[in-house]
Amino acid sequence: MKAVGLITEYNPLHNGHLYHLQQAKALTGADVVVTVMSGNFVQRGEPALVDKWRRAQAALNNGVDVLFELPFYYAVQPAHIFARGAIRLLAAAGVETIVFGAEHADLDFLGLAEQASKALQQASHFSDFNETYATSFNQTILAATGVRIEGPNDMLGFAYAMAIVELDLVGRINVQPIQRIRADYHSLTITDQTIASASAIREALQSKAIVELTDYLPASMGAGLVNGMQVQPWGLGWFEFLRYKVLTTPVEELAKIYQLNDGLAYRIKKIMTVTIDWATFKDAFKSKRYTWSRLQRTLLYVLMNVSDIEMREAWDEPYLRLLGTSANGRMYLKAIRDTVELPIIHRVAKADVTGRMQLDVRAGRLYQQLSEPAGQEIMQDFKRQPLFSEGD
């Protein structure tokens, strides 16, 4: 069976994603769609609008055959680590082609990645994952290839291609960019009658009833959002937990948190001692050196107490956490059972709490704790089995 791979967040799943799914199968002639999807926290360090199970169910209802969770240690990261983790998992699952949207689908992403790979390896300033990375990265790409990669989807597509080159998967995995249509990735306004960006939908959810957004969402995703976000945004329920954590932790211990480097531990401690609300803290913590996404991810690492050592050790023990399959997907998993390169996890065991899944379990517990309605925690990992859709 021929498999096409998609890398997603589905936050939320919308009509543009359905187009992506349809085009992926049509362009590759694939028998199955294998997807890796961020779990309860997305790349920017924010909680997903609804949990991974509701998003997984919507994906299975709309054409995905096999859906794996992108582990926390890959999902909540800058683009190059996010991409490398996703490609690693899809390769292990036997995917032959990765399909992604791009602002410039005519670019030879793999060719550009191969050109740029040597230059990037020689650039010693890429050893640290701080905000200077993005600017230096783009400048190095331009110098090496003569092509400026600027659009967010183009940049992510290039990161996928770079991961394929770095993981020595050229010839084993192909890439197929498709032209992004209508809504711009970062657009916060809805102008089209059927397709809106995820950013615009998230923005609209802050002020509009879900009924006004149903034209832009598959029915199953719309049903999952009928009551709005499952958890409160950062500025509401999260800040007091974060403030307590920072104020009660010695700065020497804070400095061990992943990416809380270059004086950020001292800075966050100092700011927290004089600010008592999210808006004031956010303004004080912003920096010209770091993007807000980078800083927000760091805040999540603090809240979860993720150490630098924990994060780096987790990268060495990857796995495929199965969230759901279609009937066709089950057939595919059976067919690759003897050749799949990583362990496939169907259920979380007690040993996983302190073992390879500890960061995902910790993230799930945090998401549970702050889920709405208050007092009704929805189990995220324990006693959960992969979802099953009859559709194929």
**Residue 301 annotated in ligand binding:** no
Secondary element (H or E) of residue 176? strand 174-179
Please check if 10 is assigned to a binding site.
yes
Q: Tell me: the pLDDT tens digits for 44-77?
A: 999 999 999 999 999 999 999 999 999 999 999 9
Mean pLDDT of the 256-276 span: 94
Token reading at 275: 């600010």
Q: What's the number of CA atoms in the CB half-sphere (13 Å) around residue 371?
A: 19
80 is in an annotated binding site: no
- 280 among annotated binding-site residues: no
375 is in an annotated binding site: no
153 is in an annotated binding site: yes
- Which region among 56-70, 95-109, 206-220, 243-257 has the lowest average model confidence (pLDDT)? 206-220
- Is 12 annotated for ligand binding? yes
Q: Is 227 annotated as a binding residue?
A: no
Task: Kindly report, residue by residue over 8-36, the tens digit of the pLDDT.
Answer: 999 999 888 999 999 999 999 999 999 99
Length of the chain equals 392
Counting residues of the chain whose pLDDT is more than 70, the rounded percentage is: 88
Which two three-digit tokens encode residue 234?
Answer: 């950062």
**Residue 15 is labelled as binding a ligand:** yes
CB atoms within 10 A of CB 209: 11
Model confidence over 285-307: pLDDT tens digits? 998 889 999 999 999 999 999 99
How far is residue 378's CA from residue 343's CA, in Å, rounded to a whole number? 26
d(CA 301, CA 259): 8
Is 8 annotated as belonging to a binding site? Answer: yes
Give the tens place of pLDDT for each residue, 197-224.
777 777 777 665 565 677 788 888 877 7
Residue 129: its pLDDT value, please?
45
Q: Tell me: is residue 11 an annotated ligand-binding position.
A: yes
* Annotated binding-site residue? 201: no
Distance of CA 87 to the CA centre of its chain: 12
271 is in an annotated binding site: no
| Residue 299 marked in a binding site | no
Quote the CA–CA distance of 392 and 390 in Å, as a whole number: 7
pLDDT for the residue numbered 2 = 95
The whole-number pLDDT of residue 125 equals: 47
Q: How confident is the model at residue 194 (pLDDT cuts 50, 70, 90)?
A: low
Q: What is the pLDDT of residues 361-387, one digit of tens each?
A: 999 999 988 886 654 557 899 889 999
